[in-house]
Structure 1
């Protein structure tokens, strides 16, 4: 009975990931806010995804599923009103009224964005800036606002979420440890909602509690052997994506976004199919390293969209990568003991490993078609 309960718990975790994955097949919702403080005034730029604005206020006037510049421009006042109602600035207890001076369009790695040029007057020299950020939180609690605050030659960063919607930032002598902590948390969250990364890792980990012998999967004899196999896979994946995350974020290597996202989907397909027809059993760590190089470019897209100068970028890079590793460790710590306990059941071998890998492969094939052919298959 206890083993059955453990199996059901593990199966429920996998099923939850598979059911939630279509909604997170692509990069989660972020906006990019850059503010520059000069004496008593603030100038800035706010990049908000058109898909988010369409969801919030509606932009597609003819209902054909495609947004044009004319449709966006026609909704300029509505866009400005919606955005400004959800961002408030203050200094020394006095409000700094914001206004939109210009509306433009720009392309990010995950699609088109509205670019709002901002200006605010605070009336006196600004030593610290209070920000209240509420964009999209009422309709998308997973949304994040990524801030870059500039003053002279200094740059500080912050991440806004529903539980950190109000923040006070010094415009000088910014805390490096605070920025580091922000990006650790963002890295943890990114791996937890990056279902393509999670399913790739899980596809490689599912056989870790088994051995392929006499043309069938059998349970490993010791937890130590399973843990060592997991350690090799996770270490290889971590080393590989850390290399390309660093190179891509520092601008030393660049690959087209569509190629990276398609290759990530293909890696999930291959890892899942290997559980059904073992082709590289015993070499899964090498596969984790090879495809981990591609996944690193996917992680880097989050930081690249911030456009941070290298001084702040190095700090955010280390924090973000540390957060990704913490997130991975949490996933492994939850998965491995449960999987080991039910490894000898037919339900694990045929249900979770067999049927689960089939579901993962089919889902990843849909992602591959969407990303490679630019078609919409999943809601």
Structure 2
């Protein structure tokens, strides 16, 4: 009983942003005219820089180019102070060369241009240590891409995995796969809206709807229902994840995040007023298409050749599956054991679903209308 309650409480109490998670994009390219120098470009969201060091000088919520220019040295000092590049174990000096801005699907980014000057002539292995936002946002990620001539490699770095070694001679596809596999697991575990959607679908799995909710008699009956739900969700989000990452589908981040919030709201309300209870897998499939677009945001910015893209996309997809299967395996046996109790049927199914619906409604209002609800921010701080 305590384990189920704790799982739900953790999901509801975790700090959650109403928008796309914090990502940055770091690209390093070898320079054919200078074998000691690599050209770097680092795209960091203005909202993240403002939170970390303060850029919005007049605090009007609108960061101008003038305000960014006024803080140029502070931005470069903060960013490059949280990045270390080594060539074959020797430290490469980071030299800022310029700044610009760029528009991404989720807002405006500062573009920091710099050179990494290495002592060794064309190092064979590059080690990148990335600690941006590590003391502020435990879920921040840096998508790192290395271009060495015709060879390309990538990695996802963050507080849980700050360093990666990239081979500049022969791409390490297994290393790329495992890097994004870990990233996919953390993407699920840190995506509270995805977790609440999954829990909303799982709550009724150990119950049958007749005149009211009654417990299932056999564990494998519940398992079969869960397999259908998870499979439908996995298939559908894999479709849109692949289409979006490969560039065939483009949907604004605000619309995707609003759709995810709406899916959580509908799934939770369906537990309170059941409209779909015999084929919950159809709900999982339909809304999984939207969640797949949300997962795709984690790989936006990757510009990799087919082999590297396959390793990164495959690793991330497997990581997402492992992350959600871990939740299912932890939840289902406990839910089955508690299915006959008043605590489960009224406490978790009814009041847990009402709580999830209230949270999802707050998310939807904030995301769809781009506003901040003061009362909601107290309950679910960013």
- Common fold: TM-score over 0.5: yes
Select the residue among 126, 135, 138 that pairs with 1:138.
135
Instruction: Give me the whole-angstrom Cα distance separating, in 2, the residues matched to 1:165 and 1:234.
Output: 31
Provide the alpha-carbon RMSD of the alignment: 1.5
Select the residue among 183, 190, 202 that pairs with 2:187.
190
1:10 aligns with 2:10: no
Further displaced range: 164-173 or 352-361: 164-173
Select the residue among 353, 358, 363 that pairs with 1:362.
358
Kept in 2, the 8 Å contact 1:148–1:158? The answer is yes
Select the residue among 233, 236, 256 that pairs with 2:229.
233
Instruction: Give me the whole-angstrom Cα distance separating, in 2, the residues matched to 1:19 and 1:347.
Output: 20
Q: Which runs of 5+ in 2 are unaligned?
A: none
Give the C-alpha shift of residue 245 in structure 1.
0.9
Find the counterpart in structure 1 of residue 296 from structure 2.
300
Q: After superposition, what is the alpha-carbon deviation per residue over 1:47-81, rounded to whole angstroms, capped at 9, x for unaligned?
A: 11212211211111112232222111110000001
SS at match of 1:291: helix
Kept in 1, the 8 Å contact 2:166–2:172? The answer is no
SS at match of 2:137: coil
Residue correspondences, number:
371
Give the C-alpha shift of residue 239 in structure 1.
0.6
Q: Which runs of 5+ in 1 are unaligned?
A: 1-6
Within 5 Å, give how 1:167-182 maps onto structure 2.
167-182=164-179
Instruction: Give me the whole-angstrom Cα distance separating, in 2, the residues matched to 1:24 and 1:353.
Output: 25
Give the C-alpha shift of residue 341 in structure 1.
0.7
SS at match of 1:198: helix
Select the residue among 150, 159, 163 that pairs with 1:162.
159
Select the residue among 5, 18, 37 that pairs with 2:30.
37
SS at match of 1:135: coil
* Distance change >3 Å, CA 68–CA 312, structure 1 → 2: same
Instruction: Give me the whole-angstrom Cα distance separating, in 2, the residues matched to 1:14 and 1:42.
Output: 47
Find the counterpart in structure 1 of residue 208 from structure 2.
211
Kept in 1, the 8 Å contact 2:20–2:257? The answer is no
Find the counterpart in structure 1 of residue 78 from structure 2.
82
Find the counterpart in structure 1 of residue 249 from structure 2.
253
Kept in 1, the 8 Å contact 2:185–2:319? The answer is yes
1:56 aligns with 2:52: yes
Instruction: Give me the whole-angstrom Cα distance separating, in 1, the residues matched to 2:277 and 2:358.
Output: 21
Q: After superposition, what is the alpha-carbon deviation per residue over 1:176-223, rounded to whole angstroms, capped at 9, x for unaligned?
A: 100001111111110111111111111111000111111x11111111
Kept in 2, the 8 Å contact 1:250–1:310? The answer is no
TM-score by length of 2: 0.93
SS at match of 1:162: coil
Within 5 Å, give how 1:106-125 maps onto structure 2.
106-123=102-119, 124-125=121-122
SS at match of 1:331: helix
Select the residue among 342, 349, 357 that pairs with 1:346.
342
